[in-house]
Chains A and B, each alone.
Chain A
Amino acid sequence: MNIASKLPPQHVDRTYFSSGRAAFAFLMEHEKPTKVYLPAFCCWSLVSTMLERFRDVEVEFYGMSTFLDGPPNSRFWPEVGAGELFVRIHYFGHQNKGWVIHGNGIVLDDLSHSYMSIFEKGEPIQQGTYEFGSYRKILKVGDGGFINTYFNPVYEPSKKLDTWLRYESKDWRDMKEAENMLDRDWQVADISSQSLAVILTTNKEFVRQRRVQNEAFLEEHLKDLDVGRWHIMYRPGECPLNHSRMFDTQEERDDLRSFLRTKDIYTAIQWPTHPYILQNASEEVLASALYLERHTLAFPVMQEYNLNDMEYMINSVEEWKRSGT
Chain B
Amino acid sequence: MFKLESNYEVYCFLKINLPEGYAIHAEPSPDYFTENFFRYVITKGDKELKILEGRFSEIRYNDLIIRAKKILREVEDDEHSK
Contacts and interface: CB of A to CB of B under 8 A. Distances in A.
Interface of A: 44, 159-161, 164-165, 168, 173-174, 176-177, 179-181, 183-185, 266, 268-272
Interface stretch (B26-34, B43-51, B61-69): B26-34
Given A173-B25, A173-B27, A165 B12 contact: yes
Given A159-B5, A159-B6, A161-B9, A184 B28 contact: no
A183 B56 CA distance: 12
B27 A181 contact: no
Given A161-B12, A168-B15, A184-B56, A44 B33 contact: yes
Contacts of A272: 32-33
Contacts of B27: 173
A181 B33 contact: no
B9 A160 contact: yes
A174 B32 contact: no
Interface residues of B, number: 20
Given A44-B33, A173-B26, A181-B8, 11 more contacts: A164-B12, A165-B15, A173-B25, A173-B27, A176-B34, A177-B26, A180-B28, A184-B8, A266-B30, A271-B32, A272-B32
Contacts of A181: 8-9, 11-12
A22 to B, nearest CB: 14
B9 A180 contact: no
B2 to A, nearest CB: 7
Contacts of A159: 5-6, 9
A135 to B, nearest CB: 17
Contacts of B25: 173
